[in-house]
């Protein structure tokens, strides 16, 4: 499935900045892939990592957790991006899109990236905490 990145920018981003690296998250609920009655909710999120620091950096690791409204945690830990280290030069932006199926219509995502600067110093960059809230209309019962 290919999704044009422009579709994500219709919503306001969740953004955080640490160590001169600005991270923005653009979540998107995929209604056409989801089935509310069987509790299958599918999300994609577009991530932008902008290097505003004074040195080039390499993305070594992504680690984050998705916590649904029932408290169930899904832990994700990956090497770099697509199992490869990703280089981000000064002033450049790295972008990628990822997704997750959930059994609940609401969750939060939080985590961080492990980076290394051009001098070999490793440091952590916070990912913005963002929510995944399906636009579900509540059903009224008599």
Q: What is the pTM of this model?
A: 0.84
Count of Cβ atoms closer than 10 Å to residue 132 Cβ: 24
Give the integer Cα–Cα distance in Å for 27 and 100.
Answer: 11
Band (pLDDT 50/70/90 cuts) for residue 83 is confident
Q: What is the pLDDT of residues 23-59, one digit of tens each?
A: 999 998 888 899 988 989 999 989 999 999 999 999 9
Q: Judge whether 48 lies within some domain.
A: yes
- Number of folded domains in the chain? 1
Q: pLDDT for 115-130, tens place per residue?
A: 999 999 999 999 999 9
Question: CATH no. for residue 112?
Answer: 2.60.40.1470
Pair 40, 34: CB distance under 8 Å: yes
Residue 138 domain-assigned (yes or no):
no
More confident residue, 12 or 17: 17
How many of the other CB atoms lie within 10 Å of CB of 70? 9
Give the domain extent around 96: 5-133
In a domain, 139, yes or no: no
* Alpha carbon distances (Å) from 17 to 22, 104, 125: 4, 29, 8
* DSSP summary character for residue 137: P
Contacts 24+ apart (CB under 8 A), 32-39: 34/134, 36/105, 36/134, 36/136, 39/103, 39/104, 39/105
In a domain, 142, yes or no: no
């Amino acid at each position: 499935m290919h999704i044009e990145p422009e579709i994500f920018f219709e919503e306001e981003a969740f953004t955080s900045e640490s160590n001169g690296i600005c991270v923005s998250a653009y979540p998107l609920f995929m209604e056409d892939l989801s089935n509310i009655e069987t509790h299958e909710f599918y999300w994609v999120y577009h991530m932008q990592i902008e290097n505003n620091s004074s040195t080039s950096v390499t993305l070594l690791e992504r680690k984050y957790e998705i916590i649904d409204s029932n408290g169930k945690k899904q832990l994700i830990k990956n090497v770099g991006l697509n199992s490869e280290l990703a280089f981000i030069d000064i002033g450049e932006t790295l972008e990628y899109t990822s997704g997750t199926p959930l059994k609940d219509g609401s969750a939060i995502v939080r985590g961080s990236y492990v980076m290394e600067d051009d001098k070999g110093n490793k440091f952590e960059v916070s990912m913005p905490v963002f929510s995944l809230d399906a636009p579900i209309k509540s059903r009224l019962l008599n």
